[in-house]
Amino acid sequence: MKHTKRGPVVAIDGPAGTGKSSVTKRLCQALKYVHVDTGALYRVVALSCLEKRVFLRQITEDPKSRVFSPEIEKIISDLSRELHIEFKQDLSRNPSNRVILNGEDVSDRIRTAEVSMASSAVSAVSGVRASLLGLQRKLGCAGHAILEGRDIGTVIFPDADVKFFMTASVEERAKRRLSELEASGADTPSYESLLRQIAERDRSDSTRQLAPLKKADDAIEIETTKLSLDEVVAKMEKIIREKVGSA
Ligand code: DC
């Protein structure tokens, strides 16, 4: 289906743990834009696969062995086409951007380490990327939207009005993730294991054949290792306002 943009679209790409979600949330509050967390879509597909079958167990335990047979790829692709995914804003909850799968709120269940690794694996399946493409374009085309992900500026919205590519050292990203988990009261893995998981996801997200993680030629790179969240938000908000203004 052909979609036409009805307002400005901002693309924010970058590897896991660079702060895309926190930054996007703050920018959306300041500019009154809609937040589209595209990673959540791949996470929902991964969650469904994990819940329905056991075939993803092996790759979440040993991510390097993640080669799906054509039959399994077909099952995953078919499953991804059947899912009905929606985003709902609920300011009384944290996170407030709730993810609804077939009518059920799965926002918390898609954030486990197991789902993180599995989402990276299913995101390399072409049928999955194809099924999620239309929804991402539809959500973005409504306009005044910020989409965060890996291939927004390169594949989903090559004509985005503003494109950012966020980076940070892998050590800094593991440190941030650790503090986040500690603050949420969740079971906390060691710093070393987080570092390994993030490095592994970087590797698989940027080396896959389809829509790999990479900076679009016209994206503005934001290196965040030594910047606070406030500093990053201020810098990006200024750029967006200069280029397209607020809603
Ligand atoms: O942003 P995230 O960590 O929630 O994303 C989970 C996985 O989904 C990530 O490892 C790669 C994949 N992904 C993708 O391939 N393309 C996107 N636009 C967003 C996420």
The yes/no answer on whether domain 9-242 falls in CATH 3.30.565.10 is: no
> What is d(CA 151, CA 212) in angstroms, rounded to the nearest whole number?
7
Q: How confident is the model at residue 52 (pLDDT cuts 50, 70, 90)?
A: confident
CA 198 – ligand 1 centroid, Å: 12
**Range 12-21 burial, b when 16+ CB lie within 10 A, else e:** bbbbbbbbbb
> What is d(CA 46, CA 117) in angstroms, rounded to the nearest whole number?
9
pLDDT digits (tens, 9 = 90+) for 221-230: 999 999 999 9
Q: Using alpha carbons, select from 108, 80, 86 the residue that is nearest to residue 34.
A: 86
CA 18 to chain centre: 11
pLDDT digits (tens, 9 = 90+) for 166-184: 999 999 999 998 988 888 7
Q: What tokens were used for 51?
A: 């819940």
What pTM was computed for the model?
0.92
User: What pLDDT score was predicted for residue 158?
Assistant: 97
pLDDT digits (tens, 9 = 90+) for 95-124: 778 999 999 999 999 988 889 888 988 998
**Contact (Cβ atoms closer than 8 angstroms) between residue 49 and residue 56:** yes
Cβ-based neighbours of 220, under 8 Å, separated by 6 or more: 162, 163, 164, 165, 239
Smallest CA separation from ligand 1 atom 20, residue: 39
User: What pLDDT score was predicted for residue 72?
Assistant: 84
> What is d(CA 63, CA 186) in angstroms, rounded to the nearest whole number?
23
Ligand 1, residue 17: give the atom nearest the CA: 3
Domain ranges of the chain: 9-242
Smallest CA separation from ligand 1 atom 8, residue: 39
DSSP class per residue in 216-238? -TTPEEEE-TT--HHHHHHHHHH
DSSP class per residue in 33-78? PEEEEHHHHHHHHHHHHHHH-STTHHHHHSGGG----HHHHHHHHH
User: What pLDDT score was predicted for residue 227?
Assistant: 96
pLDDT digits (tens, 9 = 90+) for 110-160: 988 889 888 988 998 999 999 999 999 999 999 999 999 999 999 999 999
SS3 89: strand
User: What pLDDT score was predicted for residue 64?
Assistant: 54
**Contact (Cβ atoms closer than 8 angstroms) between residue 132 and residue 80:** yes
Amino acid at 89: Q
Ligand 1 mutation target, pool 80, 114, 119, most atoms within 8 A of CB: 119
